[in-house]
């Protein structure tokens, strides 16, 4: 497929793949999104403040707040108001946490409840761990795992600064966690390390500087090990949410397809339970390989001026997978 003319500095193989992944009627908008400044998303840190205490002062300060239909304590402001948001008293006090709206979707789909046991298997820098802690009202058991030392310390500092006192942090390879806590957790979040294609933007050359087909393959191998650990760490009846900020089918549909080959009918993909505008169903096939039809409820969010690109899949574990 011929791509519309754009002054995009991305690698040609990426653009060719993009044209095969994105529906033709959406391609122009996605290409424009790589050029357009994105809105600044944020959510209220309910460990520190109640929404009603935060929202009106922000509006009184002249910020243009837009609500989020599927998350009552989340908002966005136009890109040009990002600096004012960062300069606000609410930000200085830790009452708000800046986070792209797409990045909030995995935890909303996971829907952790107060008192549960929840595992965040690739947790740094901690945005989603904090969101989990807020939803659980600082109760229950939250385990946050990170394998890279520098990212682990950033995670721990972030959690402490934001008041997430019930989270236990572990400097550990997430692929080994299941051996220590087999079928222990009620819910598991795996926001997996990925090629980060959904975050590409022309204003940030570092976002795409290291992309290559080889990187996609490398990430897919890591994701395979982490997904196995995630399933084995989850109790029967529990929920796993798998997410990436990649658009690559090898890191998304293919990863879940392979999971079904490993665990068969012990797993079921369920609807995300969120009213998401413009969320795309998964691809049925990629480069001649057809994917398991049971993936149908997974969703791909395409890059836009409001959201980064993301892939999210909610999986229910129906029976024990330990052997």
* 66 inside domain: yes
Element (H, E) at 87: none
The domain boundary residue, chosen from 64, 80, 99: 99
85 lies in the same domain as 168: no
Whether cis (ω within 30° of 0) applies to the bond prior to 125 is yes
Same domain for 279 and 262? Answer: yes
Predicted confidence band of residue 34 (pLDDT cuts 50, 70, 90): very high
Q: Residue 162: its pLDDT value, please?
A: 94
Q: What is the pLDDT of residue 106?
A: 98
Average pLDDT over residues 254-260: 97
- pLDDT for residue 323: 84
- Say what the pLDDT of residue 309 is: 98
Mean pLDDT of the region 294-317: 98
d(CA 43, CA 254): 32
Instruction: Answer yes or no: is 129 within a domain.
Output: yes
Checking if the pLDDT of 5 tops 70, the result is no
Give percent above pLDDT 70 in the chain: 98
If asked whether residues 31 and 166 sit together in one domain, one would say yes
Q: Are residues 91 and 173 in the same domain?
A: no
Residue % of the chain over a pLDDT of 90: 97
What's the whole-number mean pLDDT along residues 49-67? 96
What CATH code is carried by the domain that includes residue 29? 3.40.50.150
Same domain, 86 and 162: no
Q: Which residues contact 151 (CB under 8 A, 6 or more apart)?
A: 124, 125
* Last residue in a domain, options 99, 119, 145: 99
| Torsion sign over Cα 162, 165, 169, 175 | negative
Same domain, 220 and 296: yes
Instruction: Assess whether pLDDT exceeds 80 at residue 3.
Output: no
Instruction: Mark whether 85 and 121 lie in a shared domain.
Output: no
Instruction: Give the domain extent around 93.
Output: 39-99
Query: Is residue 8 in some structural domain?
Result: no
**Is the distance from CB of 155 to CB of 125 less than 8 angstroms?**
yes
Whether 273 maps to a domain, the answer reads yes
Q: Please check whether residue 14 lies inside any domain of the structure.
A: no
Instruction: Give backbone dihedrals phi and psi of 22, rounded to 5 degrees, phi first.
Output: -85, 135
Tens-digit pLDDT profile for residues 196-227: 999 999 999 999 999 999 999 999 999 999 99
Residues annotated catalytic, as ranges: 245
Name the band, by pLDDT with cuts 50, 70 and 90, for residue 278. confident
What separation in angstroms does the CA of 295 have from each of 10, 51, 190, 287? 30, 36, 17, 17
The CATH number of the domain holding residue 56 is 3.30.70.1170
Residue carrying structure tokens 């572990």: 170
Q: Is the pLDDT of residue 284 over 80?
A: yes
Within this chain, do residues 201 and 270 fall inside the same structural domain, yes or no? yes
Checking if the pLDDT of 242 tops 90, the result is: yes
Among 52, 80, 99, which residue terminates a domain?
99
Q: How many domains does the chain have?
A: 2
Span 22-28, average pLDDT: 96
| Residue range 36-57, pLDDT digits in tens | 999 999 999 999 999 999 999 9
Same domain for 118 and 88: no
Could you tell me which residues come within 8 angstroms of residue 170 by beta carbon, excluding any fewer than 6 positions away?
Answer: 143, 144, 145, 146, 177
- The answer to whether 234 and 240 have CB atoms below 8 angstroms apart is yes
Mean pLDDT of 57-82: 97
Q: Is residue 15 part of a domain?
A: no
User: Does 270 have pLDDT greater than 70?
Assistant: yes
193 and 311 co-located in one domain? yes
Q: Model's pTM, two decimal places?
A: 0.96
Asked whether residue 202 is domain-assigned, the answer is yes
Mean pLDDT over all residues of the chain? 96
Is residue 275 within 8 Å of 299, Cβ to Cβ? no
Q: What is the mean pLDDT of residues 290-296?
A: 97
Please tell me whether residue 155 adopts helix, strand or coil conformation: helix
Decide if pLDDT at 281 tops 60. yes
Confidence band of 6 (pLDDT split at 50, 70, 90): low
pLDDT tens digit sequence for 115-167: 999 999 999 999 999 999 999 999 999 999 999 999 999 999 999 999 999 99
Q: Is residue 2 part of a domain?
A: no
* Residue 277, pLDDT score: 85
**Do 241 and 310 belong together in one domain?**
yes
pLDDT grade for 4, boundaries at 50, 70 and 90: low
Closest C-alpha among 137, 96, 273, 111 to residue 189: 111
**Pair (91, 225) in one structural domain:** no
Asked if 244 and 222 touch (Cβ cutoff 8 Å), the reply is no
């Amino acid at each position: 497929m011929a791509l519309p003319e754009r002054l995009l500095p991305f690698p040609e193989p990426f653009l060719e793949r993009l044209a095969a992944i994105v529906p033709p009627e959406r391609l122009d908008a996605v290409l424009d999104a790589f050029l357009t400044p994105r809105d600044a998303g944020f959510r209220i840190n309910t460990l520190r403040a109640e929404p009603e205490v935060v929202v009106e002062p922000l509006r009184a300060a002249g910020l243009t707040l837009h609500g989020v239909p599927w998350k009552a304590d989340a908002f966005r402001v136009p890109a040009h108001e990002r600096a004012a948001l960062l300069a606000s008293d609410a930000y200085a006090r830790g009452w708000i946490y800046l986070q792209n709206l797409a990045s909030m979707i995995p935890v909303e789909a996971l829907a952790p409840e107060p008192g549960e046991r929840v595992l965040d298997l690739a947790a740094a820098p901690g945005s989603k761990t904090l969101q989990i802690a807020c939803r659980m009202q600082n109760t229950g058991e939250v385990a946050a795992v990170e394998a890279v030392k520098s990212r682990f310390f950033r995670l721990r500092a972030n959690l402490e600064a934001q008041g997430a006192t019930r989270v236990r942090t572990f400097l550990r390879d997430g692929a080994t966690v299941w051996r220590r806590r087999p079928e222990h957790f009620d819910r598991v979040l795996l926001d997996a390390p990925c090629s980060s294609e959904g975050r590409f933007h022309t204003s940030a050359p570092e976002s795409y500087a290291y992309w290559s087909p080889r990187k996609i393959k490398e990430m897919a191998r890591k994701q395979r090990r982490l997904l196995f650990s995630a399933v084995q760490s989850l109790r029967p009846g529990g929920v796993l949410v798998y997410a990436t900020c990649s658009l690559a089918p090898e890191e998304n549909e293919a990863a879940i397809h392979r999971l079904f080959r490993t665990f068969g009918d012990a797993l079921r993909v369920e609807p995300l339970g969120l009213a998401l505008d413009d969320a795309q169903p998964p691809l049925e096939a990629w480069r001649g390989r057809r994917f398991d039809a049971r993936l149908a409820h997974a969703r791909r969010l395409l890059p836009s001026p409001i959201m980064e690109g993301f892939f999210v899949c909610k999986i229910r574990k129906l029976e024990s997978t330990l052997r």
